Amino acid sequence: MKPSRDLVYLQSGFGLHRLGLRFALSAIGDYPKGVLHQLTAEVWLRDLPSVSGWLGTARADRPEPARDFETTITMVLPISEDQIRRLEKGRASRDLQISLDFHALALGGELGWPAAEAQETVTIPHAEWSKALNQVALGAYVDVLVPITLVEGRATAARRIREAKQAHANGQYEHAVTLSRAALDAVRDARQTKAMYSRATQRQKADDRDQPERWAVLIQAAYQLFSGAPHDDVGSTENFVWTQADAIAAVAVAAGLLARLEDVQ
């Protein structure tokens, strides 16, 4: 038993969904020919703060005859929307680790119970699990690629984004916002944000601003907001509190704005 390349899928239901985990299966040992086996697995979450524990019992999508060559089988686990929400809160954008305790029951003959046992621990990458959530409309995954560049400031900013994602995964939400703010330095320099923002704010009406000016307002607003993380100004930013959701938003905004520089020399 080993994980398949396309390991995970989610199928939508009415409040209860089907989590499918695909495995490559081959029989090892002396199995009688043509005897069907029913595979089940107790499924456990691993290494998630406050939510690690038993998820439920998965069953194979079909009985499987013992055979010497490798085939693919899917273990199907009913999973509720409440379980997924609690799992997502605890996962906090980290990779998902799941353990399965497999049991094989021979449906014919006198092989006894169990005919075979095995354990497998699989790691589902954050991106793969997030895309699976899209299939049941319980989340939306946006993948922002920050391009590799030889421009020193932007290369540093891309590194700050990677560090911010790691800080978020480690529960360091304020630090993640601080790093996101640092990544915006390259955006402000490349887009001449200060000058454009000054011009935009001199307009009597916000509706009179052109598109570059409106982008400048957005960039500057994000920079000023995120600046509350590294600074503790008396009576203002010293009282700022940064949550997990704030950190996710900050990293996404900074990454998106940095990605816009791909065609800027």
Q: Tell me the pLDDT tens digit for each residue of 85-142.
A: 888 878 877 888 999 999 888 776 665 555 678 899 999 988 888 888 877 765 555 6
Per DSSP, the three-state class of 58 is strand
Q: Tell me the pLDDT tens digit for each residue of 73-91.
A: 899 999 988 888 888 878 8
- Which two structure tokens, joined as six digits, stand for 192? 């001449």
Residue 29 confidence (pLDDT):
67
**Please, what is the angle between helix 173-190 and helix 152-169, to 10°?**
160
Percent of the chain having pLDDT more than 90?
A: 39
Pairing relationship of beta strands 53-60 and 116-124 according to DSSP bridges: unpaired
Q: CB-side exposure of 23: number of CA atoms within 13 Å? A: 26
- If phi over 0 gives left and psi between -120 and 50 gives alpha, with beta otherwise, what is residue 60? beta
Burial track 98-130 (b if 16+ CB lie within 10 A, e otherwise) = bbbebbbbbeeeebeeebbeeebebebebebbb
- Which two structure tokens, joined as six digits, stand for 87? 């799992």
Residue 204, number of CB atoms within 10 A of its CB: 6
Residue 189, number of CB atoms within 10 A of its CB: 15
Pairing relationship of beta strands 116-124 and 71-80 according to DSSP bridges: unpaired
| Least confident segment among 12-16, 99-103, 159-163 | 12-16
Query: For tokens 């993640």, what's the residue?
Result: 176
- Domains of the chain (ranges; CATH) run 2-134 (2.60.40), 152-263 (1.20.120)
- How much is the average pLDDT of 205-212? 92
- Which two structure tokens, joined as six digits, stand for 168? 């978020």
pTM: 0.62
- The CA distance from 19 to 41, in Å, is 13
Residue 171 confidence (pLDDT):
83
Q: What angle do CA 154, 157, 159 make, to 5 degrees?
A: 115
DSSP state of 53: E
